[in-house]
Amino acid sequence: MQLSFFCSILPVVMKMYADVLVEIRNKHVDKTFTYHIPKTLEEDAEVGKRVLVLFGSQQIEGYILALKNNSDVEAKDLLEILDEEPVLNEEMLELGKFLQEKTLSSLSNCYSAMLPKALKASKKTQIHKKEVLYLSLTEELEEALEKVTSASQKDVLALFENETRVLKTKANKVSASAVNTLIKNGILNLEKEEVYRYQIKNQERESAKVLNEEQQSAKDKIIASLQKSEIFLLHGVTGSGKTEVYLSVIEEVLKLGKEAIVLVPEISLTPQFVGVFSKRFPNDIAVLHSHLSDGEKYDEWRKILKGEVHICIGARSASFAPFTNLGIIIMDEEHSESYKQESSPRYFALDVLKKRSQTHHCPLVLGSATPTLDSMAHAHKKLYTYLPMKKRAQNAVLPECILVDMAEEVKNRHPIISRELECSIIEKLNQNEQIMLLLNRRGHSTTITCSNCGFTYRCPHCEISLTYHKSSKNLRCHYCGYTKYIDEYCPNCHEKSLNYYGLGTEKLEEYLENIFPTARIVRMDRDSTTNKGTLEKITEDFLNHKYDILLGTQMISKGLDFPNVTLMGILDADASLQIPDYKSNERTFALLSQASGRAGRKEKKGMVILQTFQPENYIFQCVKEHSYFKFYKYEMNIRKTLKYPPFYYLVLLTFKSKDYTAVRKEALKAKEFLEQNKDPETILLGPTTANMFLVNGIYHFEILIKYRFDDKLINTIKELDEFVLLNKKVTMDIDFHY
């Protein structure tokens, strides 16, 4: 009693002023400014909504971060409030600040990364409304049918047999005039309603599989911690049935009325994968991935915001799915590099998910056949709970893996497909089984050189040779997108003597068509799947055995489940080892293990043929033996010796400018500043020119910082960014690694 009395005399907070974070891509303006809220907008003003304000003479967007009664400064009026409901709730507002600290990028940049693109003012993506027909409230279908005599009206009403709502456009196809009459006579009601642009294909509902022992044990452990922010590492070999574990855990979470996020790398976010979920949880899923249009993504996001679905499946950005009552967070293929954003804010989805798991007191499950060294090290230290699944579901065995020495094959004039692989392909074709071939390089030929004068086509903006794309008959730079028409004659000596070297997926396709003329062959890479729906079509057709051979880039290495595939050929296993990066061993091992995992997933035993010029390489031996731990031990040793993660943290500073002298000077200045302010144990490397020194006409210099305990480092970098480097021509990217 007394309490409520007390409450009622508390002063009502007047919403006179708003602190607005303006959306300007300039770190020096990354703070809030106070605006006065005009009387007319007072009621609508809420924290987390987007607003339009005058900044200088410019109209720009911003977010309301706080409301207050008074202001020390003279404030301009807010111009407009853009949202009916806040787009950032309290958790998201906090999460943005957390990201800002983690990535040292601007707060407004962080918020905009968290929201769907459609919410940017420049893109006027509207909510889609369509006219929808209902039977009038009092009408039962039978009653309605009795009232009408015309056949076409009866046909329109027949649409309501299985549906309660029917799109007017659909009914009009039966008979537009009948529809109008039905509306006029009050039998049908017409309403304008929001319709979602994206629909998961309706599929038959599927019930849960009986879990095997390993799956059950994993599930039980996760379920036992459903109210805790515990992190699990689900280390299951390829085909061990991790997805089934996710599904069964989600089922329990839904029973509690809670929600689930399932993060999947972009390339494994296939219709097949989404289908598995939607068959189990029909109409309860939002999907967020880059194949959707901005409008579709916006709709999916709002399904979550409005609480219409409980599950979100999506790529990296789905970590920001605006759920308010999370019960489980799953990160499938947790080793995937797509979980790190490579533009500002350069965040790790894992950091976001850990934070959300703490906020919501719910478990986070990291699943992989090849966990990152970092995750496995966490599991070793018991910071993550380790859940192994060593066997394939349904007792399928892991495929046999053969290493073929390509040096021998080149001598025997089999430089593309080794004799061993060729024989195996023929054998599988004869047995009516399917084959996958991995070549992680798209295009036709990777180098075009003149045999007369030695001329090579290079990108004029970058430092690399251009790739020939036969299907589009042009040369392309895979870094900056520069394209060039190709002539029959050398542009330098004008002789007809151009040679096409290097193997890409297009050339491989041609080659295969020549040596296996009766085989049905299909290619999957970024070029063959640009049109909407093609990826789905290729997957479905291959699954239905309309093709015998599927060749492709790493797009084919993950997530796909084709029971009839018994042979996986890996054509250029060495390629990813040659990339100069401390992670290239880890990346190669994961790619090849994942790819191997596509073969022999059901009753039929699988086989993998791995073509390499270095068959004795330890990484390939580990792949051959399916021995993650052998690889783990080996690689951890290297990382320790060379002071790389997970023993050291890394920050890569990249200095960029069109002006070579300026960028070099700033990089040296930065080095000096860091040298003076760092912890003695912290290691500085560089400045050196980056691997890709010149991209799109911009010069790149790098400084690599390796550190373990350096409390001041973050502040030092912030200072460097804000006060030390003031040359407007040079920008500095800050990129944390672990």
Q: What does the binding site for ligand ADP look like in residue numbers (CB under 6 A)?
A: 209-212, 215, 236, 238-244, 393-394, 561, 601
User: Of residues 459, 498, 570, 651, which one binds Zn ion by CB under 5 A?
Assistant: 459
Q: Least CB distance from residue 240 to ligand ADP, whole Å?
A: 4
Q: Least CB distance from residue 550 to ligand ADP, whole Å?
A: 17
Is the Cβ–Cβ distance between 683 and 706 less than 8 Å?
yes
Q: 561 is in the binding site of which of ligand ADP, Zn ion, none (Cβ under 5 to 8 A by kind)?
A: ligand ADP
Q: 461 is in the binding site of which of ligand ADP, Zn ion, none (Cβ under 5 to 8 A by kind)?
A: Zn ion
The residue (of 5 and 485) whose beta carbon lies closer to Zn ion is 485
H-helix or E-strand spanning residue 311: strand 311-314
Q: 356 is in the binding site of which of ligand ADP, Zn ion, none (Cβ under 5 to 8 A by kind)?
A: none
User: Of residues 247, 253, 350, 477, which one binds Zn ion by CB under 5 A?
Assistant: 477
Q: 199 is in the binding site of which of ligand ADP, Zn ion, none (Cβ under 5 to 8 A by kind)?
A: none
Binding status of residue 482 toward Zn ion by CB under 5 A? yes
Count of C-beta atoms within a 10 Å radius of residue 16:
16
| Interface with Zn ion: number of residues (CB under 5 A) | 7
Q: Least CB distance from residue 636 to ligand ADP, whole Å?
A: 24
Is the Cβ–Cβ distance between 678 and 684 less than 8 Å?
yes
Q: 687 is in the binding site of which of Zn ion, ligand ADP, none (Cβ under 5 to 8 A by kind)?
A: none
d(CA 614, CA 407): 9
| Strand pairing class (521-524; 549-552) | parallel
Binding status of residue 479 toward Zn ion by CB under 5 A? yes
Q: 393 is in the binding site of which of Zn ion, ligand ADP, none (Cβ under 5 to 8 A by kind)?
A: ligand ADP
Q: 27 is in the binding site of which of Zn ion, ligand ADP, none (Cβ under 5 to 8 A by kind)?
A: none
The residue (of 462 and 570) whose beta carbon lies closer to Zn ion is 462
- Report the candidate in 336, 328, 395 with the shortest Cα–Cα distance to residue 362: 328
Edge to edge, what strands does the sheet with 521-524 contain? 400-405, 607-612, 565-570, 434-438, 549-552, 521-524
The residue (of 212 and 617) whose beta carbon lies closer to ligand ADP is 212
d(CA 44, CA 30): 25
For residue 540, report the phi and psi dihedrals to the nearest 5 degrees. -65, -45
Determine the interface stretch with Zn ion among 19-27, 307-315, 457-465, 536-544 (rule: CB under 5 A): 457-465
Binding residues for Zn ion restricted to 56-115, rule: CB under 5 A: none
Q: 236 is in the binding site of which of Zn ion, ligand ADP, none (Cβ under 5 to 8 A by kind)?
A: ligand ADP
Which residues have C-beta within 8 Å of that of residue 359, sequence separation ≥ 6?
A: 91, 94
Q: Least CB distance from residue 211 to ligand ADP, whole Å?
A: 5
- Angle, alpha carbons 73-77-79 (nearest 5°): 145
Structure token pair of residue 322: 């605006």
Q: 268 is in the binding site of which of ligand ADP, Zn ion, none (Cβ under 5 to 8 A by kind)?
A: none
The residue (of 75 and 698) whose beta carbon lies closer to Zn ion is 698
Is the Cβ–Cβ distance between 269 and 539 less than 8 Å?
no
Determine the interface stretch with Zn ion among 24-32, 79-87, 238-246, 469-477 (rule: CB under 5 A): 469-477
Q: 399 is in the binding site of which of Zn ion, ligand ADP, none (Cβ under 5 to 8 A by kind)?
A: none
Which residues have C-beta within 8 Å of that of residue 149, sequence separation ≥ 6?
A: none
Q: 462 is in the binding site of which of ligand ADP, Zn ion, none (Cβ under 5 to 8 A by kind)?
A: Zn ion
The residue (of 315 and 459) whose beta carbon lies closer to Zn ion is 459
According to DSSP, residue 661 is labeled H
Binding status of residue 667 toward Zn ion by CB under 5 A? no
Binding status of residue 694 toward Zn ion by CB under 5 A? no
Binding status of residue 461 toward Zn ion by CB under 5 A? yes
The residue (of 247 and 704) whose beta carbon lies closer to ligand ADP is 247
Counting other chains too, the contacts that 579-588 makes at CB distance below 8 Å and 24 or more residues apart are 580/691, 581/691, 582/639, 582/642, 582/644, 582/645, 585/619, 585/635, 585/638, 586/335, 586/372, 586/373, 586/635, 587/337, 588/619
Alpha helices in 554-617 (DSSP H): 584-596
How crowded is the C-beta side of 319, counted as CA atoms within 13 Å? 31
Q: Least CB distance from residue 215 to ligand ADP, whole Å?
A: 6
Which residues have C-beta within 8 Å of that of residue 107, sequence separation ≥ 6?
A: 21, 30, 96, 97, 100
User: Of residues 37, 462, 535, 703, which one binds Zn ion by CB under 5 A?
Assistant: 462
Q: Least CB distance from residue 273 to ligand ADP, whole Å?
A: 9
Side chain identity, residue 28 = H
d(CA 456, CA 469): 16
Binding status of residue 480 toward Zn ion by CB under 5 A? yes
Q: Least CB distance from residue 398 to ligand ADP, whole Å?
A: 11
Distances (CA, A) of 594 to 280, 500, 608: 25, 31, 11
Binding site for Zn ion (CB under 5 A): 459, 461-462, 477, 479-480, 482
